[in-house]
Amino acid sequence: MKGICILGATGSIGVSTLDVIARHSEHYKVVALTANNNVELLYTQCLAHHPEYVVIVDEQKANAFRDRIKTSPVADINVLSGAKALAQVATLAQVDSVMAAIVGAAGLLPTLAAAKAGKTVLLANKEALVMSGAIFMQAVAESGAHLLPIDSEHNAIFQCMPAGYSAGVKALEARRILLTASGGPFRTKPIEELATVTPDQAVAHPNWDMGRKISVDSATMMNKGLELIEACLLFNMSPDQIQVVIHPQSVIHSMVDYVDGSVLAQMGNPDMRIPIAHALAWPERFDSGAAPLDIFEVKHMDFEQPDLDRFPCLRLAIEAIDAGGVMPTVLNAANEIAVEAFLNEQVRYTDIAVIIERSMSHFEAKKADTLEIVLAVDQQARTIARQVIETLT
C-alpha cells in the first residue's frame, strides 16, 4: 500500500483523484490532504478517507477546522496551516506519491520539495514546471524521483512514448509531438464579439469539467501555451518539434510521430480520471471509473490549425518559450493576474492578452538558473501586470 499526499484536494483534480483512490483503497492510503478555501468539502473528504494530516493555508480557517473536528470521528487528524506546511506534508516519510494539483504558482514550492525528496510526483500543476523549468527537471534527475504527467495531453504523450520511457529523457525514435486542444468555447465565435464575453461564458467548457482559472486558460488557449512549454521540458524536445492541433471532439488526447512514419495516439473519453488512474497504477493499470469510449458515438473527428489572431495568448506562450530564460515565468505570472482580474470583472476577456504582452515587454530573457531569480521575477511580473490593469480600468 502506497501513501499519497494530495496537494489541492478540493479542486477538480483532487476530487477525481480521491474518486479513483476510493475504487482501489487496497493500493493507496491517503496520508495528507490540503485545501485553500473549500473547508466544507475538505471535511467531507476527511470523513471518507481519514488522512493523518490536513493543511489549510489560511491560519484562521485552520483553527476553526481544528475546533470542528474535536468531537468528530476524525478528531485525531493533525491540522496544519501556512504555505510551508504544504512542503512539509509533501515530504513526509510515509508519503510515496504526491498529487500536485494546486493551481498556479502557489503549487511550485511544495511540488519542487516533493521532487527533491525523491517522491513519485503526479504533476497536474503545469505552472510549477513552466515557472522553474530546468530547475525542476534537475531536481527530479538528482533525487531519482518519478515524474508522471497528469494533464490529459502530456499523459497521452507519455503513454505513446517507447516502453519504459521516463519523463525528461529525449526519445530519439520520436521526431514530433502533436499536442491536441479542444479550441474551447469560443473556437468559432466571431473575433469581434470576444470583447463582450463574460466570465460565466468563458468557464463553460464544452468538453471538460475544470476549475474557473483553468477553464479561462482553455478558452484563451493559454492553457495550451503553458502545455507547450511543459511538453518541451517533460519530453526534452524543442518548440519546433511540437505542433498544436485543434481537435474539437477531445477524443484524441495527443499523438507522437515516430521516425519510421508511425503516429501513435492515445484516445479516450474526456474524463480526468483516466490519466489520474494511469499515473496512480503506473506501470500497471486499473479501472478509472470512466465510461468506455464508444467510437460509433464519436462518428467523426476534426482537426485544424490554431488561429493566432483568435488566440493571441498562444502566440505569447510561443514567444516566451522561444525567448527562454525568465520569460515563461513572466508569462505565467502575468496570466494569473490577468485571469483573476477578468474573473472579478475588472477587465474584458480580450484584455487578458494585452495585460500579458505589456507585462512581458518590461523584461529581458535573462537566465532562470536559481529559484531565487524565478521567485523574484514572478513577483515583479505580478506587480507590473497589476499596474497594467490599472491603466485599463
pLDDT digits (tens, 9 = 90+) for 233-259: 999 999 999 999 999 999 999 999 999
Per-residue confidence (pLDDT) for residue 61, from 0 to 100: 94
Per-residue confidence (pLDDT) for residue 303, from 0 to 100: 96
Residue 134's pLDDT band, with cuts at 50, 70 and 90, is confident
Question: Is the pTM above the cut of 0.85?
Answer: yes
- Per-residue pLDDT for 163 more than 90? no
Residue 205's pLDDT band, with cuts at 50, 70 and 90, is low
- Per-residue pLDDT for 387 more than 80? yes
- Per-residue pLDDT for 206 more than 70? no
Arithmetic mean of pLDDT, 310-329: 95
Arithmetic mean of pLDDT, 144-158: 95
The fold adopted by the segment(s) 2-149 is Rossmann fold (3.40.50)
Residue 369's pLDDT band, with cuts at 50, 70 and 90, is confident
CA–CA distances in Å: residue 302 to residues 12, 252, 309? 27, 10, 20
pLDDT tens per residue across span 291-305: 999 999 999 999 999
Mean pLDDT of the chain: 94
Per-residue confidence (pLDDT) for residue 207, from 0 to 100: 62
Residue 112's pLDDT band, with cuts at 50, 70 and 90, is very high
Tell me what percent of the residues of the chain surpass a pLDDT of 70. Answer: 98
